[in-house]
Amino acid sequence: VEENKTVVLLIDEAQILPDFVLETLRILLNYETNEFKILQLVLVGQLELLPRINKLHNFWDRIAFKYVLNPMEEEELAAAIQFRLTQAGYSDINGLFTNEAIELIYAHTQGYPRKFTALCHNALESLVMYDKSVVDAEIIQRIIDNDLLPIGVDTEKDIDAV
């Protein structure tokens, strides 16, 4: 306050905050001077956060901006994958993921960044396991199939036993 600075508090995964913490944050938002707000609050979370905050009417009214980020389109997903590869130092003009792999990634993740990032991470690890140089649809499908198996179950035969 002495330096006339506003503190920005950014909370990720805000959907897991208990209600009493949300209420405490709401109370903290009441503190301000005649010139500026002492605290700016940025909550980032999954969609289930919205109805919880909406129930806290005094909190909801204090929110100046409410944004919902939609999942990416397939072209955006492909660009995001390429961007991340470039940032990691991959510079080959030929893509590391085939078009078919990108299509399957999009179909499985529906463009949600956390999901496609995890799937791509597993795909890159699989390149080493399968001694391949390009992520193709076969690799993606294997990962998808394995992710859907219950823990400790390795085969279709084992699934029938579960």
User: Rounded distance, CA 108 to CA 116, Å?
Assistant: 8
Task: For residue range 21-47, list pLDDT tens digits in order.
Answer: 999 999 998 888 888 888 899 999 988
State the pLDDT at residue 34: 80
Q: Report DSSP state, residue 72.
A: P
Q: How many CB atoms lie within 10 A of CB 16?
A: 12
140: pLDDT strictly greater than 90: yes
User: In this predicted structure, which of 66-70, 86-90, 101-105, 124-128 has the lowest mean pLDDT?
Assistant: 66-70
Its pTM stands at: 0.68
Task: For residue range 57-88, list pLDDT tens digits in order.
Answer: 888 888 888 888 889 999 999 999 999 999 99
The structural domains of the chain, with segments of one domain joined by +, span 7-62, 74-147
CATH class of 74-147: mainly alpha
Cα dihedral 16, 18, 24, 26 sign: positive
Percent of the chain with pLDDT over 70: 90
